[in-house]
Amino acid sequence: MKYIKKLLVFLDQWGLIALIILTAVFFGLAAQATYAQNNDTGLKAFFEALMDALNASDDDLPFATKIFQALEKVVVAWATVKIYINTAGLELDNLIAKYFIKDHIVIVAGTKVDSGESTSQPVRAAHTNDKTALAVDLALALAKQLQKDQGSGVVLVAGNIDPITCQQLWDYGVILLSKPIAMAQIAEATNLKRANMLVAMRNEFGDNIALTRIANSLENEGEPIQCKCLIEPYKLRAEFKPSDYFNPQALPNIRVFSEAELIARQLVIKHPPDFGVSCQGEDVHILLFGFGAIGQSLLLHIARNGHYKDKVHPSVTIVDRKINTLWHEFLANYPTVPQWVKVVTKEQRIENISKLDLNNLTKGVKPFNMVYACTKDEISNLRIATLCTKEIAQVQKPMVIAIDPPGGAILAEFKQQENISIFECFSLVEKTGKNEHYQVADRLLEDMDDDLAKAFHLTYRKDEELAKIKDPTRNKPYDKPWEELPEDARDANRSIADHSLVKLRALNLELVQAPEALPFVPESEELELLAEMEHNRWWAERSLNGWSYDSKRDDDHKLHPNMVAYSDLDEPTKAYDRSMVRTMFELMQKEDWRVVRAA
């Protein structure tokens, strides 16, 4: 089956070129045969032979002429031939997915198709607002990785994919099911009971919940299927409780995510809020334009991980035309955010902001070190970038980061033309040579692996094993394999991994490939600083997840005695935080990687 598919892909790519070359060759041979039959010689006779080869209709023709005429008809009808090749390829995909593939990854995207509904325009990766763009790029990223690891394959269910993207998917071995499939038939069509993973990312969140439930209800032939379930819009994601929708036994195998969360995490990794100030012990002050899904995810990320060397909570000034309403809704879901971030709000339309408004925002406050333009509109982000790099930069020197959405080109052009050192364009679509890819797909792929987060959890379990030697009755609720952890516990480990880079910047350290260097070991004062930062990160994580202080721990009611300042902790708990920091350096400095002082 695989080789038949490769043949179809080859014919689709090179068929027309091969036909044109063969037609030209046989046209020359036909003309030569006709020329040889004529008694006349010379240039005029040669051109007459060419015309005879084109218009010959006698059945008693040279073999080369007959072949040429047949090829000529095929070239003329190539559009029809290509449609048949594409149809054959898609039908073959349906056959492979249903009967022959196993241990594969299933990605389901697009809109609801029970009634035959589909997108109105063909979808190309990174050129649409619906989730098919992310699904296509994720399928390509996974297929490339599986080819290296000798994995089984990827099945993508997505309607109305354009021919260019279809060809690209086939090139990397992705099995594409593009015909409308009723929800109840997806499991059978994709052979879901033999799959390793399901990524449910339809535009309607109800479809994704239904698909995830279907996947977990099947009697899988191997290990339980791992499910990644997209829940959007962001407000719904914030209120979403997996336990309300899925069986308790299935929860360890389900990961809920939102596209905005992935964008915010990638944005903070590439352009951290503490850039340029953390190692100097200066305060972090951020100006945020736009408080939609990405802006809210960004603020939540800052609240979780904004625990820096100066021990001062970061300050964020938010500008949005609906900030009062949005802020009220946000606090209803995350009431403890003001405990970790100093927030100032200003309700104003982005397109109406003037130089005077910017001056008022910066008057009488500590300097901004970072400006994020997170609106959905690239024109609004361009306006913010222009004003901030010209007006604020006269008295302050913040980095200005503007999001460039898929299909956008203005901000990249602005960066190239103006050549402003304090401005960066965060493009959701990155170009590598002639290829484009959606950054969020890469981030989702990394989140699926969770290597560093899993390593932290494994270290925690080893510490628990040692603790049980002294106290056999000890029984922590999260002392279980990663696969059995609830999602909030996994998120806690991911938060530790995310904060590792913040800790490095606090000591002006960086992670580099330097096998000849000795592993970095922090000095006692440095260790104590990072241990306190780690405790504050843990405290904020628990607080944002609904935990609060009590002298006695109660996991059912989310109460914990350690939700106090680091200085008020007992020595065993401080020792545990120091151990977490040492573990961080050990995990980061494996193989050829070393932590070194930044130049």
| pLDDT digit string, tens, across residues 18-58 | 666 776 676 566 666 665 665 555 555 555 555 555 555 55
The partner residues of 430 in beta bridges, in order of sequence, read 437
pLDDT reported for residue 123: 43
Q: Domains in the chain and their CATH numbers?
A: 2-76 (no CATH), 100-257 (3.40.50.720), 263-445 (3.40.50.720), 450-597 (1.10.490)
| pLDDT digit string, tens, across residues 198-228 | 999 998 889 999 999 999 888 766 678 889 8
Count the residues in the chain.
599
pLDDT reported for residue 540: 95
| pLDDT digit string, tens, across residues 418-430 | 767 888 888 766 5
537/548 Cα distance (integer angstroms): 14
267/275 Cα distance (integer angstroms): 12
pLDDT reported for residue 73: 63
Element (H, E) at 175: strand 175-177
Element (H, E) at 385: helix 378-390
Which is nearest to 111 in space by CA: 180, 211, 175? 180
Of 93-97, 161-165, 256-260, 331-335, least confident by mean pLDDT is 93-97
Mean pLDDT calculated for residue range 266-283: 85
Q: Which residues contact 472 (CB under 8 A, 6 or more apart)?
A: none
pLDDT reported for residue 376: 81
Determine the Cα angle at 297 with ends 295 and 298, to 5°. Answer: 65
Are 290 and 349 in contact, with CB atoms under 8 Å apart? Answer: no
**The tokens of 348 are what?**
């104003």
CB atoms within 10 A of CB 79: 8
Place of tokens 């059978």: 188
| pLDDT digit string, tens, across residues 86-132 | 555 555 556 656 656 788 899 999 876 433 444 444 444 333 446 78
Are 178 and 136 in contact, with CB atoms under 8 Å apart? Answer: no
Q: Which residues contact 288 (CB under 8 A, 6 or more apart)?
A: 295, 298, 299, 316, 317, 318, 319, 371, 372, 374
Report which of residues 521 and 397 the model is more confident about. 521
- Helix, strand, or coil (residue 79): helix
Residue 561 has pLDDT above 90, yes or no: yes
What is the percentage of the chain residues whose pLDDT exceeds 90?
27
pLDDT reported for residue 273: 93
| pLDDT digit string, tens, across residues 244-274 | 898 888 887 888 888 888 888 888 888 999 9
